[in-house]
């Protein structure tokens, strides 16, 4: 390689590099596709995690509602029993 061939080779390499990184190059297309794929995967993962959180929250709310219903049923039964013991005159069949 002669002294003049080195700059020519360098200029040719730089020109190829510039063309390969241009807006219409395959490498730009490949980078864009990789970015789109990553964004789609992230969105899919986020949707799955959100759905899982919603399922867990719905199950937790259902359990809490069931516990509240049981608690209020026991309280009503206790209040009814207390009312019956407070007013035994009202249900006495002998009178």
User: What is the torsional sign of CA 50, 52, 55, 60?
Assistant: negative
pLDDT of 88 reads 55
pLDDT of 84 reads 80
- Write out the two tokens for 63: 């359990």
Q: Where are the domains of the chain?
A: 47-84
pLDDT tens for 52-95 read 999 999 999 999 999 999 999 999 999 888 888 876 555 555 55
pLDDT tens for 6-57 read 788 888 887 777 767 777 778 888 889 999 999 999 999 999 999 999 999 9
- Write out the two tokens for 2: 């002669």
Give the C-alpha separation, 26 to 90, whole Å.
93
Q: Where are the beta strands (DSSP E) in 1-95?
A: none
């Amino acid at each position: 390689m002669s002294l003049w061939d080195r700059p020519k080779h360098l200029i040719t390499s730089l020109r190829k590099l510039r063309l390969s990184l241009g807006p219409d190059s395959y490498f730009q297309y490949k980078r864009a596709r990789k970015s789109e794929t990553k964004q789609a995967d992230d969105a899919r993962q986020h949707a799955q995690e959100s759905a899982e959180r919603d399922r867990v929250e719905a199950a937790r709310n259902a359990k809490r509602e069931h516990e509240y219903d049981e608690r209020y049923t026991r309280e009503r039964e206790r209040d009814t029993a207390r009312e019956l013991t407070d007013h035994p005159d009202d249900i006495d069949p002998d009178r």
